[in-house]
Structure 1
């Protein structure tokens, strides 16, 4: 376990020693004594937060709306700067799921989340309580990771896969870091535009154009955190100009590029997600080559 210090943020962070048996699934462990209004920055993954222990985080999702305990949220959690996390003595395993595998793991499409933060208990019922208890009983982070991975692998094996054409389109977007022109995706997979857009949205939880913008934003945001200038980042990540980047960052986070570069939520990635970036959400069956089963 490593200690992450960034401004007033001091967190203990643990990483699995082995990769998940499920391609497209990554996780990290967090122990936070005091969490104060952490801005949740949108990311191109489905977020699964598994809490255990005595403390509990509170997500302020919108005026008058809160969510406590273990949660699940679709791609783009925190868009508009609308979600903040706070709490005391928080312990959790955070899982990032590629949208391509999320439907199988969750037992529901990310589209069913409708952009909201949902209690895991509402989605999984009593199984959510059992997981919390099991995570609290084991004595090490590596055991917690192994337990979580085994559970999610079983669910993934039993769940329905997305259409190969949909998976291919997602991986094409991710592999290009959001620089793919979505107009050509349907033709490349041999479907009509209407069919691809409908299947993509229903199975992954967001339309292709939104996926492109989110993936591009994620890549740009991490480069800002790495200390690169906004003008250079804009020119190198597909934005028309620096003003375009500024507008996108404001739309996704409610913050300026300069403020975003100092966000702990992103700065911790170098420790918690060493394979961070959108390329981590390619799965072994989702290369940018030909579509399996194209029809």
Structure 2
């Protein structure tokens, strides 16, 4: 896919609504006339995809499952690719696992993807139709922010201890110890493990692995050598990084660095890009 044919738009700070913690959005417009195939990387967020173009796009995976239209992608999906026959537009919304649990029905979503109506109910169709009636990315971002904001009051809360454990895992790039987190929450290790897995969809250990991998993938895509990326992302050495990358995306670190799905992340998700160690 020719990424020079992809325009990326992100929300401006001047959009009227206050940002919602745990929500990041980006709009993509593919101007090419040929088929498009965008492979998705495992990321520590639940992803909502809205097909806003005139030509129907679809999402499929390595197991032959294919869904057209708007979809939700869970944590650690395997081989998920967005495909289109030609030019199109897509709104991508990333929700932290804690916020996704509170706002969506994410039961069973980990490791796979589903139609948006499966996680949002009847409101999914109305939201998609409203987004497709808009005429600008600013309007789309405002509609999406308003929709998510309207669900905050009625959301079901995850345990404070679980939210704290996730926040610390993300803040420290996966360099967290479950026993330490349990002690800081006042829970036993077993209770934290059980409640975290039930509410987030992954165990604390797997959540930390995903966060570490995400940091390493962005470092590699930015040109950081594998040995340095391993050290900065918290792996014991480069072979450790090799094993984890292979386990999560079935690739080598150098293969990850060359994958097209990270080619425009600096434009779409600047808040997630790792800083230079000297910054």
Q: Please indicate, yes or no, whether the TM-score normalized by the shorter chain is above 0.5.
A: yes
Alpha-carbon distance in 2 for matches of 1:133, 1:278: 36
Alpha-carbon distance in 2 for matches of 1:38, 1:51: 13
TM-superposed deviation, 1:56: 2.6
Secondary structure of residue in 1 paired with 2:57:
strand
Alpha-carbon distance in 2 for matches of 1:9, 1:185: 44
Alpha-carbon distance in 2 for matches of 1:64, 1:45: 23
TM-superposed deviation, 1:183: 2.6
Alpha-carbon distance in 2 for matches of 1:8, 1:236: 28
Q: How does 1:201-216 map to 2 (within 5 A)?
A: 201-216=197-212
**C-alpha RMSD over aligned residues:** 2.0
Residues 55 and 91, structure 1, Cα contact 8 Å, conserved in 2? no
- Equivalent in the alignment of 2:164: 168
Q: 2:266 aligns with which of 264, 267, 270?
A: 270
Residues 104 and 157, structure 1, Cα contact 8 Å, conserved in 2? no
Secondary structure of residue in 2 paired with 1:23:
coil
- Equivalent in the alignment of 1:93: 91
Runs of 4+ residues over 3 Å off in structure 1? 6-9, 33-37
Structure 1 residues 101 and 13 mapped into 2: Cα distance closer, same or farther (>3 Å)?
same
Structure 1 runs not aligned, ≥5 long: 1-5, 280-295
- Equivalent in the alignment of 1:84: 81
TM-superposed deviation, 1:9: 5.8
TM-score (norm 2): 0.89
- Equivalent in the alignment of 1:59: 59
- The size of the alignment, in residue pairs, is 269
Q: 1:191 aligns with which of 187, 206, 222?
A: 187
Alpha-carbon distance in 2 for matches of 1:138, 1:128: 16
Alpha-carbon distance in 2 for matches of 1:240, 1:130: 48
Structure number having the greater strand percentage: 1
- Equivalent in the alignment of 1:29: 27
TM-superposed deviation, 1:278: 8.6
TM-superposed deviation, 1:240: 1.9
Q: How does 1:46-195 map to 2 (within 5 A)?
A: 46-78=46-78, 82-87=79-84, 88-106=86-104, 108=105, 110-195=106-191
Q: How does 1:215-254 map to 2 (within 5 A)?
A: 215-254=211-250
Structure 2 runs not aligned, ≥5 long: none
Q: 1:257 aligns with which of 253, 257, 276?
A: 253
Structure 1 residues 209 and 66 mapped into 2: Cα distance closer, same or farther (>3 Å)?
same
TM-superposed deviation, 1:22: 1.2
TM-superposed deviation, 1:37: 3.4
TM-score (norm 1): 0.85
Structure 1 residues 224 and 114 mapped into 2: Cα distance closer, same or farther (>3 Å)?
closer
Of the structure 1 ranges 201-210 and 156-165, higher mean CA displacement relative to structure 2 is found in 156-165
Alpha-carbon distance in 1 for matches of 2:237, 2:130: 50
Secondary structure of residue in 1 paired with 2:51:
strand
Alpha-carbon distance in 2 for matches of 1:277, 1:77: 21
Of the structure 1 ranges 215-224 and 54-63, higher mean CA displacement relative to structure 2 is found in 54-63
Structure 1 residues 99 and 241 mapped into 2: Cα distance closer, same or farther (>3 Å)?
same
- Equivalent in the alignment of 1:288: none
TM-superposed deviation, 1:112: 3.1
- Greater RCO structure (CA 8 Å; 6+ sep): 1
- Equivalent in the alignment of 1:283: none
